[in-house]
């Protein structure tokens, strides 16, 4: 079955430290991968995406993600975390099955940045 | 620029009452439209998606239905709400003809009492 997994329910990191939010996927064909962020009682905001090309993708608010085909991963990273980065983060894959317009989302990872 | 609206922002309805949530998109034509439900502040469940007027695909059999009466309007409905329908409902759109991003509305918080 095609799926997206976010293995950590919550990630805690100290302000100023690097952060990583993990995502792995299981889809057929070439995946189109996305990261979104959600603040309390708000809609999801697009952060970045991987379609093709460079495996390191840079996005909004200083976030980046690394696509690793051999490990089927698309981890979200930031070199120096801010308290304002605290939110719920979703990984998603589009085109499941290939050629469709559907997205599959992970279950979300709550990031807590401690001052 | 494109904008997506949802209303109402919050709604409290008794069990057995009808439901109508509306989503509209501005600044684009022929979008794909989606309805998601998010329970307990976590995962997103795709409920419906639409690639055109009157074209609705249902992902999960349930108490809800969707309609797309106009190109940029997407409505989520129920004839009789259940307690389990409570949640945060998100509408989203994406460009149809290329592998594009999905953009979300601000959401509607529905509480069924």
Give the model confidence (pLDDT) of B16-74 as tens digits: 999 999 999 999 889 999 999 998 767 888 899 898 999 998 888 678 999 999 999 99
pLDDT of residue B108: 95
Angle at Cα A71 formed by Cα A65 and Cα A72, nearest 5°?
65
Give the model confidence (pLDDT) of B68-110 as tens digits: 999 999 999 999 999 999 999 999 998 876 556 789 999 999 9
pLDDT at A98 over 80: no
pLDDT of residue A7: 95
Domain that holds residue A89: 3-114
pLDDT of residue A43: 87
**Residues comprising chain A, all counted:** 115
CATH number at residue A50: 2.60.40.10
pLDDT top residue among A3 and A83: A83
Q: How far apart are CA A47 and CA A63, in angstroms?
A: 7
In total, the C-beta contacts within 8 angstroms joining chain A to chain B are: 55
pLDDT of residue A97: 60
Q: How far is CA B36 from CA A74, A75, A84, B60, in A?
A: 23, 24, 26, 11
pLDDT of residue A6: 95
| A102 interface with B at CB cutoff 8 Å | yes
A32 with B99: Cβ contact below 8 A: yes
Alpha-carbon gap: A80 to the closest alpha carbon of chain B (Å): 25
Q: Is the dihedral of CA A94, A99, A100, A101 positive or negative?
A: positive
CATH number at residue B29: 2.60.40.10
Q: Which of A17-21, A46-50, B38-42, B57-61 has the highest mean pLDDT?
A: A17-21
Angle at Cα B50 formed by Cα B19 and Cα B57, nearest 5°?
80
Number of domains in chain B: 1
Number of domains in chain A: 1
Q: How far apart are CA B45 and CA B19, in angstroms?
A: 18
pLDDT of residue A40: 85
Domain that holds residue B88: 3-112
Give the model confidence (pLDDT) of B16-26 as tens digits: 999 999 999 99
B106 with A42: Cβ contact below 8 A: yes
pLDDT of residue A42: 85
Check: CB of residue A8 under 8 Å from CB of residue A108.
no
Question: Scanning every residue of chain A, which has its alpha carbon at the shortest distance from the alpha carbon of B91?
Answer: A43
Q: How far apart are CA B27 and CA A76, in angstroms?
A: 30
Strands A56-58 and A64-68: antiparallel
């Amino acid at each position: 079955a095609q799926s997206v997994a976010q293995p950590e329910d919550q990630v805690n990191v100290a302000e100023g430290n690097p952060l990583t939010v993990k995502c792995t996927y299981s889809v057929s064909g070439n995946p189109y991968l996305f990261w979104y962020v959600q603040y309390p009682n708000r809609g999801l905001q697009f952060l970045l995406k991987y379609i093709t090309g460079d495996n390191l993708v840079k996005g909004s608010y200083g976030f980046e993600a690394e696509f690793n085909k051999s490990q089927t991963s698309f981890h979200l990273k930031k070199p120096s975390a801010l308290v304002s980065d605290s939110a719920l983060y979703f990984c998603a894959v589009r085109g499941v099955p290939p050629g469709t317009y559907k997205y599959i989302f992970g279950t979300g990872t709550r990031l807590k940045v401690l001052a | 620029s494109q904008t997506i609206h949802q209303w109402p922002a919050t709604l409290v309805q008794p069990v057995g009452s009808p439901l109508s949530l509306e989503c509209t998109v501005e600044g684009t034509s022929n979008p794909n439209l989606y309805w998601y439900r998010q329970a307990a502040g976590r995962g997103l469940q795709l409920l419906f998606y639409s690639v055109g007027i009157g074209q609705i695909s249902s992902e999960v059999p349930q108490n809800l239905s969707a309609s797309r009466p106009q190109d940029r309007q997407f409505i989520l409905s129920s004839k009789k709400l259940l307690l389990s329908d409570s949640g945060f409902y998100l509408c989203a759109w994406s460009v149809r003809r290329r592998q594009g991003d999905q953009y979300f509305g601000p959401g509607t918080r529905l509480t069924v009492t």
